[in-house]
């Protein structure tokens, strides 16, 4: 590999390339570092240019913030609802696409992935309108439904990727030996899908928890942690918001590191199997 | 039916089909159709309702006047002529009351009128904002591609595995941090008394109103959505056999030719996905303009949609605006599929 990088660039372009890498990552990380730093500043508006000394008091201020706590609870409720809705829907969709041979499959597939290509605010609005017709006004329920619309597309793609690798003869063998459809599903299909169910739940949870654009258009008068953060950024901004930023950054770094380590290990294992 | 039925049996197949129908019809197509339907009618209140109430008032006045006439008539000496006059007045009053009842009924239940009014109402200023939003999103997409292509290529093909893992980590972390917080970081930088103006002040340049001029929205938007370009391109470039690049080089192709003839054609589906995602997120972003304009700069099109729904609560016009945005995104998707000659199966993987 390193020989490729040797030949790919001359000395001059290597320097240009390194400068590019440095600028790129500075661009990615400096803003985040500033945001984290301002969370430790005594000054009452988020700032790094006016430094009034190091403090941890904004952590305390955040812990006292009842609206943030209720937002967090709402976020968790919605995320769990989204998992419960989007996993069965995604799985059903994946089964239909992989095993239901009809000439409308392509069209059906296009419709099922279309929420991923639709702006989130439109998913939010259309869900809100749809449920208002049946007399349900905006709230946690509509927010969960709007999110589940596109998160189901994610889970479907994940299940499809897994199902494509499935050895269907196993199911057939079980059935030849007299197992019922339910038994085959419970004993063979589900265990095979188990890892995907786990990762799909995690992805669904994260997607739901982090969502702003779809949620703000469908949640009515209620709020989640993220929509509350959004409104704080316009009204009543204090470094407590930066503290939330610090918490998010720490959680993200830890989980991203775990993810990359796992990925590398998987890759190494795959290479070992191949070799 | 076939293999679905064979592997799951009739009962589970029914459940699977039912769930799919709920999702496709009840969550994807249904809501969109109702939104589109709403965008094509409006409740006939407004101008006509005002005219209505004027007419009703006038009719009530007429009845009052007639009741005076009637009293005058009643004061006359009883005669056939007097009775006829009173009866005449009474019929006129009765007629007018019927008209009033009709008008009042219409006032309570405004008429649903199908028209293109919700679209034509947009006017020049909102149309300008729409066009600005689309053009800015195209620009964000273009910048993201130019910046991200070298990075995606590096991680996929140039870096050693260890280095690639570290770069990957460096990409995933900012990608995974909540959109709002990433935008907020730029709010701190571009604020009137923010970091950027502090640095400009050090070299003696006057403060620049980044937020008030709308540049802040653009800068933060590039930052917020740029990484959505990296991963799709990375995924496709990674599947390219490195031997092809080496063969091209051995045959004497200069670097730019290798990219033009070998890497870029292979990366087409990834580039298409990256462009579609970046464009869609930018054009449909509410968070970035909401935070970065502070209500002082010209709004983004999504903010107009939000205002139609939640401030002036005109859902029909709001639906029309939302559908306009959706159509723009669909057109963009088809343009990209044409440009890169890829199908929907290549895009959504």
Q: Is pLDDT at B317 greater than 50 in this prediction?
A: yes
pLDDT in the model for residue B114: 86
Number of domains chain B contains: 2
Q: A217-240, pLDDT tens digit by residue? A: 999 989 999 999 999 888 878 899
Report, in angstroms and rounded to the nearest whole number, the Rg of chain B calculated over CA atoms. 33
**Of B274, B261, B190, B264, residue with least CA distance to B230:** B274
CB contact at 8 A, A25 and B175: no
Q: Looking at CA atoms only, how far is residue A54 from chain B in angstroms?
A: 18
**CA A174 to CA A171: how far, in whole Å?**
5
Is the domain of B169 the same as that of B282? Answer: yes
Residue B21 lies in a domain: no
The answer to whether residue A248 neighbours chain B at the CB level (below 8 Å) is yes
Is the domain of B199 the same as that of B280? Answer: yes
How do the domains of chain A map onto residue ranges?
2-58, 66-274
Q: In chain A, which residues have their Cβ closer than 8 Å to the Cβ of B151?
A: 21, 24
Q: A8-42, pLDDT tens digit by residue? A: 556 667 788 889 889 999 999 999 999 999 999 98
Nearest CA in chain B to A249: B177
**Of A13, A256, A272, A12, residue with least CA distance to B167:** A256
| Residue A25 φ/ψ, nearest 5 degrees | -75, -30
pLDDT above 70: percentage of residues in chain B: 95
Is the domain of B156 the same as that of B247? Answer: yes
Residue B11 lies in a domain: no
Q: Is the dihedral of CA B171, B230, B276, A27 positive or negative?
A: positive
Using CB atoms, pick whichever of B35, B173, B305 lies closest to residue A252: B173
Tell me the pLDDT of chain B averaged across its residues: 87
CB contact at 8 A, A106 and B7: no
Q: B22-45, pLDDT tens digit by residue? A: 999 999 999 999 999 999 988 776
pLDDT in the model for residue A222: 94
Q: Looking at CA atoms only, how far is residue A264 from chain B in angstroms?
A: 7
Residue B9 lies in a domain: no
CA distances from B139 to A205, B136, B239 (A): 32, 5, 28
Using CB atoms, pick whichever of B4, B23, B177 lies closest to residue A95: B4
Using CB atoms, pick whichever of A106, A212, A253 lies closest to residue B179: A212
Q: Is pLDDT at B330 greater than 90 in this prediction?
A: yes
Only one residue has tokens 């462009």, namely: B275
Q: In chain B, which residues have their Cβ closer than 8 Å to the Cβ of A1?
A: 158-161
Residue where a domain terminates, one of B115, B142, B165: B115
pLDDT in the model for residue A4: 46
CATH number among 1.20.140.10, 3.10.129.10, 1.10.3720.10, 3.60.10.10, domain A66-274: 1.10.3720.10
Chain B, residues 48-87, CB within 8 A of chain A, namely none
Using CB atoms, pick whichever of B27, B176, B329 lies closest to residue A252: B176
All residues at 6 or more sequence positions from A155 whose CB lies less than 8 Å from its CB, including other chains:
A86, A87, A89, A90, A91, A200, A203, A204
The answer to whether residue A105 neighbours chain B at the CB level (below 8 Å) is no
pLDDT in the model for residue B1: 52
Q: In chain B, which residues have their Cβ closer than 8 Å to the Cβ of A152?
A: 23, 27
Cβ–Cβ pairs < 8 A, chains A and B: 267
Nearest CA in chain A to B296: A234
Residue B52 lies in a domain: yes
Confidence band (pLDDT; 50, 70, 90) for A275?
low
Confidence band (pLDDT; 50, 70, 90) for A74?
very high
**CA A166 to CA A39: how far, in whole Å?**
49
Which of A216-220, B99-103, B109-113 has maximum average pLDDT? A216-220
Least confident of A116-125, A142-151, B241-250: B241-250
CA distances from B315 to A219, B28, B109, B310 (A): 15, 19, 17, 8
**Of A163, A169, A165, residue with least CA distance to A200:** A163
Residue where a domain terminates, one of B59, B90, B115: B115
Residue B216 lies in a domain: yes
Confidence band (pLDDT; 50, 70, 90) for A52?
confident
Q: Is pLDDT at B349 greater than 60 in this prediction?
A: no
pLDDT in the model for residue B109: 64
Chain B, residues 106-135, CB within 8 A of chain A, namely none
DSSP letter at B41 equals: E
Tell me the pLDDT of chain A averaged across its residues: 89
pLDDT in the model for residue B137: 96
Is the domain of B203 the same as that of B101? Answer: no
The answer to whether residue B254 neighbours chain A at the CB level (below 8 Å) is no
Q: Looking at CA atoms only, how far is residue A122 from chain B in angstroms?
A: 6
Q: Looking at CA atoms only, how far is residue A28 from chain B in angstroms?
A: 7
Q: What is the ipTM of this complex?
A: 0.88
Q: Is pLDDT at B101 greater than 70 in this prediction?
A: yes
The answer to whether residue A121 neighbours chain B at the CB level (below 8 Å) is yes
The answer to whether residue B182 neighbours chain A at the CB level (below 8 Å) is yes
Using CB atoms, pick whichever of B23, B183, B309 lies closest to residue A152: B23
Is the domain of B144 the same as that of B265? Answer: yes
All residues at 6 or more sequence positions from A62 whose CB lies less than 8 Å from its CB, including other chains:
A68, A240, A243, A244
CB contact at 8 A, A150 and A116: yes
Is the domain of B123 the same as that of B107? Answer: no
Q: Is pLDDT at A150 greater than 60 in this prediction?
A: yes
Residue B17 lies in a domain: no
Is the domain of B107 the same as that of B178? Answer: no
Is the domain of B98 the same as that of B133? Answer: no
Q: Is pLDDT at A5 greater than 50 in this prediction?
A: no
Q: In chain B, which residues have their Cβ closer than 8 Å to the Cβ of A112?
A: 23-24, 28
The answer to whether residue B154 neighbours chain A at the CB level (below 8 Å) is yes
Q: Do A217 and B306 touch (CB under 8 A)?
A: yes
Enclosing domain of residue B80? 43-115
The answer to whether residue A34 neighbours chain B at the CB level (below 8 Å) is yes
Q: What is the CATH number of the domain that holds B269?
A: 1.10.3720.10
Residue where a domain terminates, one of B115, B135, B155: B115
**The model's pTM:** 0.85
Q: Is pLDDT at B166 greater than 60 in this prediction?
A: yes
The answer to whether residue A41 neighbours chain B at the CB level (below 8 Å) is no
pLDDT in the model for residue A164: 87
Chain A, residues 141-180, CB within 8 A of chain B, namely 145, 148-149, 152-153, 157, 168, 171, 180
pLDDT in the model for residue A126: 95
Give Cα A211 to chain centroid, integer Å: 8
Nearest CA in chain B to A237: B184
Q: In chain A, which residues have their Cβ closer than 8 Å to the Cβ of B29?
A: 111
Residue of A30, A104, A122 to mutate when probing chain B, most B C-beta within 10 A: A122
Confidence band (pLDDT; 50, 70, 90) for A3?
very low
Residue B15 lies in a domain: no
Is the domain of B47 the same as that of B130? Answer: no
Is the domain of B177 the same as that of B207? Answer: yes
Least confident of B73-82, B172-181, B221-230: B73-82
Q: Is pLDDT at B7 greater than 60 in this prediction?
A: yes
Q: Do B161 and A35 touch (CB under 8 A)?
A: no
Q: Do B322 and A126 touch (CB under 8 A)?
A: yes
Is the domain of B254 the same as that of B297? Answer: yes
Is the domain of B337 the same as that of B197? Answer: yes
Instruction: For residue B250, count CB atoms less than 10 angstroms from its CB and return exposed for 0-12, middle for 13-18, buried for 19 or more.
Output: exposed
User: What is the rounded average pLDDT of the residues B117-135?
Assistant: 89
Q: Is pLDDT at B270 greater than 80 in this prediction?
A: yes
CB contact at 8 A, B26 and A152: no
CB contact at 8 A, A97 and A105: yes
Strand-pairing partners, residue B114, are B41
Residue B8 lies in a domain: no
User: What is the rounded average pLDDT of the residues A52-76?
Assistant: 93
Which of A271-275, B39-43, B317-321 has maximum average pLDDT? B317-321
Helix (H) / strand (E) element for B111: namely: strand B111-114
pLDDT in the model for residue A259: 84
pLDDT in the model for residue B344: 72
């Amino acid at each position: 590999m390193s020989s490729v990088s040797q030949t790919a660039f001359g000395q001059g372009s290597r320097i240009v390339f390194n400068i590019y890498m440095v600028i790129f990552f500075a661009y990615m990380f400096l803003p985040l570092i500033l945001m984290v730093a301002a969370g430790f500043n005594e000054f009452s508006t988020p700032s790094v240019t006016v430094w009034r000394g190091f403090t941890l008091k904004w952590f305390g201020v955040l812990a006292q913030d009842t609206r943030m706590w209720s937002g967090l609870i709402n976020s968790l409720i919605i995320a769990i609802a989204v998992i419960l809705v989007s996993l069965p829907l995604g799985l059903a969709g994946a089964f239909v696409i992989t095993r239901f041979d009809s000439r409308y499959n392509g069209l059906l597939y296009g419709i099922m992935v279309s929420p991923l290509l639709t702006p989130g605010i439109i998913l939010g609005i259309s869900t809100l309108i749809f449920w208002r017709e049946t007399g349900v006004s905006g709230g946690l329920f509509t927010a969960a439904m709007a999110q589940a619309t596109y998160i189901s597309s994610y889970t479907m793609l994940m299940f499809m990727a897994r199902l494509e690798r499935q050895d269907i003869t196993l199911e057939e063998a079980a059935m030849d030996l007299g197992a019922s459809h339910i038994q085959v599903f419970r004993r063979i299909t589900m265990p095979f899908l188990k890892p995907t169910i786990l990762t799909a739940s995690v992805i669904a949870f994260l997607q739901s928890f982090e969502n702003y654009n779809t949620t703000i258009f469908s949640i009515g008068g209620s709020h989640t942690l993220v929509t509350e953060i959004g409104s704080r950024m316009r009204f009543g901004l204090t470094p407590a918001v930066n503290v939330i930023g610090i918490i998010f950054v720490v959680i993200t770094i830890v989980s991203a590191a775990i993810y990359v380590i796992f990925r590398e290990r998987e890759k190494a294992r795959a290479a070992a199997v191949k070799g | 039916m076939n293999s679905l039925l064979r592997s799951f049996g009739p009962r589970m197949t029914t459940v699977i089909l039912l769930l799919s129908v709920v999702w496709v019809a009840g969550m994807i197509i249904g809501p969109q159709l109702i939104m589109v339907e709403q965008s094509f009618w409006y409740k006939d209140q407004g101008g006509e309702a005002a005219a209505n109430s004027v007419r009703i008032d006038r009719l009530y006045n007429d009845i009052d006047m007639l009741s005076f006439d009637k009293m005058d008539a009643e004061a006359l000496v009883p005669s056939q002529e007097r009775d006829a006059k009173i009866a005449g007045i009474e019929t006129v009053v009765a007629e007018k009351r019927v008209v009033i009842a009709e008008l009042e009924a219409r006032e309570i239940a405004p008429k649903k009128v199908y028209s293109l009014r919700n679209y034509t109402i947009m006017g020049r200023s909102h149309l300008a904002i729409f066009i600005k939003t689309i053009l800015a999103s195209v620009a964000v997409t273009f910048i993201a591609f130019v910046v991200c292509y070298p990075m995606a290529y590096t991680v996929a093909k140039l870096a050693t595995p260890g280095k690639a893992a570290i770069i990957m980590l460096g990409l995933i972390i900012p990608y995974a941090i909540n959109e709002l917080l990433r935008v907020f970081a730029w709010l701190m930088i571009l604020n009137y008394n923010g970091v950027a103006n502090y640095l400009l002040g050090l070299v003696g340049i006057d403060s620049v109103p980044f937020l008030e001029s709308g540049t802040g929205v653009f800068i933060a938007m590039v930052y917020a959505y740029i990484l959505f370009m990296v991963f799709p391109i990375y995924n496709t470039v990674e599947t390219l056999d490195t031997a092809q690049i080496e063969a091209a080089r051995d045959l004497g192709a200069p670097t730019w030719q290798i990219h033009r003839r070998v890497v870029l054609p292979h990366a087409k589906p990834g580039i298409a996905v990256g462009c579609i995602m970046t464009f869609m997120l930018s054009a449909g972003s509410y968070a970035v303009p909401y935070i970065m304009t502070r209500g002082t700069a010209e709004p983004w099109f999504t903010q107009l949609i939000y205002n139609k729904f939640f401030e002036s609560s005109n859902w029909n016009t709001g639906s029309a605006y939302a559908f306009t945005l959706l159509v723009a995104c669909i057109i963009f998707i088809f343009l990209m599929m044409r440009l890169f000659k890829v199908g929907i199966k290549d895009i959504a993987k």
